[in-house]
Amino acid sequence: MRTGYKVALYAAALAVIFGGTWAAGAATGPTPAESPAPHAETHDGGHDSKLPPGLSVSDNGYTLRLKETAPLTFTVEGPDGQPVTKFAVEHEKRLHLVAVRRDGSHFRHVHPQMAPDGTWSTPLELPDAGSYRVFADFRPEGGPALTLGADVQVPGDYRPQNHVDSRTFTVDGYEVSLFGDLKANAASTVAIEISKDGRPVADLQDYLGAKGHLVALRSDDLAYLHVHPEQGGQVKFAVEVPTAGKYRLFLDFQHDGVVRTAEFTLTTHEEGGHGH
């Protein structure tokens, strides 16, 4: 595991200018936008003028405080300025931590442990140099569901990756395919099919209370959206993304007792547009 992470926290007013390049995002983090995107999506799927989840270190009086230690440690500071120690259980966990490099690579989804004083810790491994966005997804008891984000810098020779649109991914012999299109500010459904050795996998195990866990990140600024499958036999997700553009999608699924991750890249279209 790499040590010596340099933590860079960004204030709530920061957002990336849409259309910025991956390299610029990795080097500088979010840059001020002229104005927040109209009708940006909130964590609960509604619409608001506020920034989409994950772009701010603070929201609704809560602040993510990262510390420069290994393992990665942090607290969630409440409106009273003290670390929060009581969290509601959401999708079988009190807090979900997601990390991804700003070029959309090296996705990690882990579940830290909390000490009695409200300090969370996890042996998060960030394998290559670059700027990583760390998201804390949680709901304090009696409070709103929140996703707060901050940056962690891993020193070294940064080599960004370019991700072209892709709807199939192979991991450990499993071929995972995604069907359906995403449209901005319109409800849409994507479906997942998983096969191995040419045969459909029909006995997925529950993971976090569902047959899969999906995270979507807007490529330009890593605005965060995560959803869970719709009810039914097929693995389907109801998705609404806040704006048109390119998105990275990460699916966690469990089979034979092992959780694996498939990743996709999709370009969204305005309602009435066309997809693949």
244 CB neighbour count, 10 Å cutoff: 18
Residue at 98 is within a domain: yes
Say if residues 275 and 225 touch (Cβ distance below 8 Å): no
- Check residue 199 and give its pLDDT: 96
Least Cα distance to 104 among 128, 132, 126 occurs for: 132
Residue at 162 is within a domain: no
pLDDT bucket at 231, cuts 50 / 70 / 90:
confident
Count of structural domains within the chain:
2
Residue 16 lies in domain = 6-154
Which residues, including other chains, have CB under 8 Å from residue 212's CB and lie 6 or more apart?
Answer: 192, 204, 228, 229, 235, 237, 251, 252, 253
DSSP class of 43: T
Residue at 159 is within a domain: no
Half-sphere exposure of 223 (CA within 13 A, CB side): 25
pTM for the structure as a whole: 0.80
Question: 26-30, 77-81, 86-90, 135-139: which range is least confident on average?
Answer: 26-30
- Based on the domain organization, do 15 and 107 belong to the same domain? yes
- Based on the domain organization, do 10 and 84 belong to the same domain? yes
Q: Both tokens of residue 213?
A: 């866990």
| pLDDT average, residue stretch 211-234 | 84
DSSP class of 26: H
- Check residue 246 and give its pLDDT: 95
| pLDDT average, residue stretch 109-132 | 94
* Mean pLDDT for the chain overall: 81
Task: Inform me whether the pLDDT recorded for 28 exceeds 90.
Answer: no
- Based on the domain organization, do 261 and 130 belong to the same domain? no
- Based on the domain organization, do 148 and 172 belong to the same domain? no
Using a 10 angstrom Cβ sphere, with 0-12 exposed, 13-18 middle and 19 or more buried, the burial of residue 81 is exposed
Question: 31-35, 70-74, 75-79: which range is least confident on average?
Answer: 31-35
CATH number assigned to the domain comprising residue 146: 2.60.40.10
Strand partners, 90: 93
Please give the backbone phi and psi of residue 74, each rounded to the nearest 5 degrees, phi first. -165, 165
Please give the backbone phi and psi of residue 23, each rounded to the nearest 5 degrees, phi first. -60, -40
Residue at 161 is within a domain: no
- Check residue 242 and give its pLDDT: 84
Residue at 111 is within a domain: yes
Helix, coil or strand: residue 25: helix
- Based on the domain organization, do 34 and 124 belong to the same domain? yes
- Check residue 240 and give its pLDDT: 82
- Based on the domain organization, do 78 and 200 belong to the same domain? no
| pLDDT per residue as tens digits for the range 155-172 | 999 999 999 999 999 999
Helix, coil or strand: residue 96: strand
Task: Inform me whether the pLDDT recorded for 271 exceeds 90.
Answer: no
| pLDDT per residue as tens digits for the range 184-218 | 888 889 999 999 999 999 999 999 888 899 999 99
- Check residue 69 and give its pLDDT: 60
Q: Both tokens of residue 91?
A: 């999708």
- Check residue 228 and give its pLDDT: 64
Q: Percent of the chain at pLDDT above 90?
A: 63
d(CA 134, CA 1): 16
| pLDDT average, residue stretch 21-45 | 33
